[in-house]
Chain A
Amino acid sequence: MADVKSLLAQFEEISKNPQKLVKEYVEAGEKVIACFPIYTPQPLVTAAGMVPMGIWGGQCNPQLAGKYSPIFTCSLLRSCLEFGMTGVYKDVSAVVMPIICDTFRGMNSAWRAGVPDIRSITFIYPQNRKDPGARDFLIEELKAVREALEDISGNTVTNEKLQTAIRLYNRKNAAMRAFCRTANDHLDLVKPADRHHVMKAVTFLKPERAVEMVSELTAALNAEPVHRFAGKKVVLTGITCEPDDILGYFDQCGVAVVGDDLAQESRQYRTDYPSANSGMESLALHWFGVKGCSSAHDDNNTARGDMLAAMAKEAGADCVVLCMMRFCEIEEYDQPSVITQLEKAGLMSFSIDIDQSTSDSGQALTKIQAYAEN
């Protein structure tokens, strides 16, 4: 069995070089479907015999995206548009785009104007999730996604293939949750950036490979003696917590990340696809099981804050860090309520800015230092 250090290095390599992986897939004759945040029906892509890969922008100062994308819109989607317009995504066969906020409404138009050569498979999640018509609506939306994927792949997505893919994704979810739990017993080995590299790499890997690699890492960690971490512990919430510099600051200040509600990370893995009469129904029901997410309306309007407080307490953290994606209004609307709920639960919190268009994270360091010294 490989040692923890070398396994973590593999995840880091993958998380930092998704283009290398795309090249490998394409050279092996496979088609890659790029999946925008947050919830894309990836089992459909797998069942269609193609490779789903998450796209999460990246640190860049957009030069072309501004033509279509206003400066005051989400920096993650501006980076994605820039990468689309500059050919970074040229090897993907299509993108899947769920409309989950206003910036995605705009991105739908911007992508068509700026990246006309890469097909966008767009669909929308119903927000009135308790309405009796919402389930049937979503199944039909997902059928249109399935049809588009079948068209690209030339393969038929049967119910059997889809159910098999769904079981695989549920195994992946379980593997990710097991890794997160185990990592908390080995905070000497799994630093905040390492944890992030694992989570991010998995968004680029085929699900079966992800399960294999993550399970091997978890087993390797379990073989190590449990480490009693004496420093401060936090839980992260938001869309992403990048670049690595920021995660490095946590480590530098002796702070461990013991849980997350990041869209790029655990938010994707905490809700399984439920068993249902068909694979399509299971995909749809997954959306109705999503809790505590800024992109999914919940009649319980303190659900997210309460969930974060429970997560932090369970993981032994005394603070939740709100990683505020610059110009992400859905997160901004939630921010005051989340802070209030955490305060009520006797927990600390602070916010840091996440901006893919700048490499200056000095403000985050100051806030993390202030927390660490408190």
Chain B
Amino acid sequence: MGETPEVKKAKRPLPKSRVMLNALVDSIYQAAWDAEAKGEPVGWSTSIFPQELCATFDIPVLYPENNAAGVAARHDSPRFIATSEGELGYSNDICSYARLSIGMAHQMACDPNYEPPAVQRMPRPTFLLCATNSCFELLKWYECLSRELDIPIFMQDCLFNYGDAKPAKHWVAYGRSQIEHNIKRMEEFFGKKFDWDKFLEIQKISVENARLFDECVMMNDRNPSPLNGFDLFNYMAPMVVARGRRETTEVLLQLKREIQEHIDNGTTTFGSAPQKFRVDWEGIACWPNLGYNLKSMKKYGVNCVTNGYVGAWSLHYTPGSLDEMAEQYMLSSTNVVNTATMMGKRADVANHFQCDGMFCHINRSCKFMTYHMTCGREIVEEKCGIPVVFFDGDQADPTIFNEAQFETRLQSLVDVMETNKEAKQ
């Protein structure tokens, strides 16, 4: 018997907000290439560095974490990772974003036949911006990039908040001192004067965008949720690469309108399958396996209505206040606060979103986020009374993820959520 020919579904057109988002991201990359062509500075930055500084100097900056996610999602990460592990000798224990990016930087610098990724090609940087809020590994990764490319690092040490209170006065003072010192160093490095009025404007736009992004995230608390939760991973991009831009405001306003339309019409980007279970996804996406994850979850009627990671760019401060800005950069990332704080918040969100369970990505590349899950599981179980299930994966290294394990763990989560629902009824 012959095989049934595969019927290819027509791709749904992208919503307008995604089209706008893609155009914005493309323009950011183009600006970096234009600067490179003119011999002007181009930066590579960690994802939660105070972007307000370079935006004020009007210096283009690209983001290796965001880039690595895109490259991995397009299944193009293995060749860069192979360079890091093979030619350069890095351990496969270190973060896969780092392995990907160091491999790419090395190829860029040393291989005359370097073949860039098909999209989101990054030019070679002339300086680095490193904030330590997401993890300590970022600093080690950027030390390697600095060595590989022989360029300087501007650092914003954002201090892991090990205690339960907000950052103390001396923490804020150190954060502020670094912002001020970085501005001075940048003035010298870029040969430009810092425009404090423009800085204030960019702060205002950044704060407005953070507020809008939070509103979009919170609108997903409806039942059924207007968004498939993975959509939010896509909309993180402008918050990472263009938080201080008016175009990002436009994207988010459009997204907000689209979400409202879904709410008004009772529709959802989750598709036509019923949303049987509402789940909090914890951890970074498995970018190389995003499609499989989504398909599997849809099969079981599981929608990830919220996740903690996308909130990392929720930086709210009073424009004009360097102290508040410095403090926010010490608080926003999931990895810059302790587990009691982080998972306590996540439990509150899971309750607010009426989640039936929590699905945790034990990300081989992100050790501390994994600690949050292992140490915070009991907090969530106690505060929410919902099951917490782990699966193994990685954000960019496709060799770690196992489809069978993912589905088995998902099934076990579904089984418990089903039993709980039946018990409630």
Give me the interface of A with B, judged by CB distance under 8 Å. 67-70, 72-73, 99-103, 105-110, 112-113, 122-124, 126-128, 131-134, 136-137, 140-141, 294, 297, 299, 301-302, 324, 327, 329-330, 332-337, 339
Task: Check A332 against B94 for contact (C-beta < 8 Å).
Answer: yes
Q: Which of B130-175 contact A (CB under 8 A)?
A: 132, 135-137, 139-141, 143-144, 146-147, 152-153, 155-157, 159-160, 162-163, 168, 170-171, 173-174
Give chain A residues whose Cβ lies under 8 Å from the Cβ of B168.
140
Give chain B residues whose Cβ lies under 8 Å from the Cβ of A128.
155-157, 174, 178
Task: Check A73 against B178 for contact (C-beta < 8 Å).
Answer: no
Which residue of A122, A127, A334 contacts B162 across the interface (Cβ within 8 Å)?
A122
A106 in contact with B371 given A122-B162, A127-B132, A127-B155 (CB within 8 Å)? yes
Task: Check A327 against B139 for contact (C-beta < 8 Å).
Answer: no
Most buried by A among B137, B339, B375: B375
Q: Could you list 12 further interchain pairs (A-B, Cβ under 8 angstroms) beyond the known A131-B181, A332-B91, A336-B144?
A: A73-B370, A73-B371, A105-B371, A107-B371, A126-B157, A127-B132, A141-B170, A301-B147, A327-B93, A330-B140, A333-B90, A335-B90
Task: Check A137 against B94 for contact (C-beta < 8 Å).
Answer: no
What's the interface size class on B, roughly? 35 or more
Q: In the complex, A7 Cα to B413 Cα: how many Å?
A: 60
Most buried by A among B153, B174, B176, B178: B174
Q: In the complex, A106 Cα to B160 Cα: how many Å?
A: 10
Which residue of A68, A102, A123, A133 contacts B374 across the interface (Cβ within 8 Å)?
A68
Encoded as 1 (CB less than 8 Å from any A CB) or 0, chain B from 180 to 211 comes to 01000000000000000000000000000000
Query: Which residue of chain A lies nearest to B370 when distances are taken between CB atoms in the complex?
Result: A70
Give chain B residues whose Cβ lies under 8 Å from the Cβ of A69.
371, 374
Query: Which residue of chain A lies nearest to B87 when distances are taken between CB atoms in the complex?
Result: A336
Q: In the complex, A107 Cα to B160 Cα: how many Å?
A: 12
Task: Check A137 against B181 for contact (C-beta < 8 Å).
Answer: no
Task: Check A299 against B153 for contact (C-beta < 8 Å).
Answer: yes
Task: Check A109 against B338 for contact (C-beta < 8 Å).
Answer: yes
The 8 closest A-B pairs by CB, nearest first: A133-B177, A106-B371, A109-B339, A333-B140, A140-B170, A137-B174, A128-B157, A109-B375
Give chain B residues whose Cβ lies under 8 Å from the Cβ of A336.
88-90, 144
Give chain A residues whose Cβ lies under 8 Å from the Cβ of B181.
131-133
B283 CB to closest chain A CB (Å) equals: 12
Task: Check B137 against A109 for contact (C-beta < 8 Å).
Answer: no
Give chain A residues whose Cβ lies under 8 Å from the Cβ of B171.
137
Task: Check A103 against B367 for contact (C-beta < 8 Å).
Answer: yes
A347 CB to closest chain B CB (Å) equals: 16
Q: In the complex, A358 Cα to B173 Cα: how many Å?
A: 45
B378 CB to closest chain A CB (Å) equals: 7
Q: In the complex, A134 Cα to B178 Cα: how many Å?
A: 9
A105 in contact with B335 given A68-B374, A297-B155, A335-B91 (CB within 8 Å)? yes
A372 CB to closest chain B CB (Å) equals: 23
Which residue of A113, A127, A134, A141 contacts B139 across the interface (Cβ within 8 Å)?
A127
A58 CB to closest chain B CB (Å) equals: 22
Give chain B residues whose Cβ lies under 8 Å from the Cβ of A68.
371, 374-375
Task: Check B91 against A339 for contact (C-beta < 8 Å).
Answer: no
Give chain B residues whose Cβ lies under 8 Å from the Cβ of A108.
160, 162, 338
Task: Check B144 against A137 for contact (C-beta < 8 Å).
Answer: no
Q: Determine if B316 is an interface residue (Cβ-Cβ < 8 Å).
A: no
Q: In the complex, A357 Cα to B234 Cα: how many Å?
A: 40
Give chain A residues whose Cβ lies under 8 Å from the Cβ of B146.
301
Give chain A residues whose Cβ lies under 8 Å from the Cβ of B346.
none
A280 CB to closest chain B CB (Å) equals: 13
- Chain A to chain B contacts (Cβ below 8 Å), 15 pairs: A70-B367, A70-B374, A102-B368, A126-B174, A128-B156, A131-B155, A131-B177, A134-B174, A137-B170, A137-B174, A140-B170, A297-B155, A301-B146, A332-B94, A333-B143
Give chain A residues whose Cβ lies under 8 Å from the Cβ of B155.
127-128, 131, 297
Query: Which residue of chain B lies nearest to A101 when distances are taken between CB atoms in the complex?
Result: B136
Task: Check A329 against B137 for contact (C-beta < 8 Å).
Answer: yes
B195 CB to closest chain A CB (Å) equals: 23
Task: Check B144 against A333 for contact (C-beta < 8 Å).
Answer: yes
Q: Which of B120-135 contact A (CB under 8 A)?
A: 132, 135
Query: Which residue of chain B lies nearest to A333 when distances are taken between CB atoms in the complex?
Result: B140
Which residue of B93, B178, B340, B368 contacts A131 across the interface (Cβ within 8 Å)?
B178
Query: Which residue of chain A lies nearest to B153 when distances are taken between CB atoms in the complex?
Result: A299
B165 CB to closest chain A CB (Å) equals: 11
A227 CB to closest chain B CB (Å) equals: 37
Give chain B residues whose Cβ lies under 8 Å from the Cβ of A133.
173-174, 176-178, 181
Task: Check A109 against B340 for contact (C-beta < 8 Å).
Answer: yes
Q: Determine if B297 is an interface residue (Cβ-Cβ < 8 Å).
A: no
Give chain A residues whose Cβ lies under 8 Å from the Cβ of B90.
332-333, 335-336
Task: Check A102 against B362 for contact (C-beta < 8 Å).
Answer: no
Give chain A residues whose Cβ lies under 8 Å from the Cβ of B364.
72
A258 CB to closest chain B CB (Å) equals: 25
Q: In the complex, A294 Cα to B146 Cα: how many Å?
A: 15
Task: Check B174 against A301 for contact (C-beta < 8 Å).
Answer: no
A109 in contact with B372 given A102-B137, A126-B159 (CB within 8 Å)? yes
Task: Check B174 against A70 for contact (C-beta < 8 Å).
Answer: no
Q: In the complex, A137 Cα to B335 Cα: how many Å?
A: 21
Most buried by B among A72, A123, A136, A333: A333
Give chain A residues whose Cβ lies under 8 Å from the Cβ of B95.
329
Task: Check A110 against B371 for contact (C-beta < 8 Å).
Answer: yes
A85 CB to closest chain B CB (Å) equals: 13
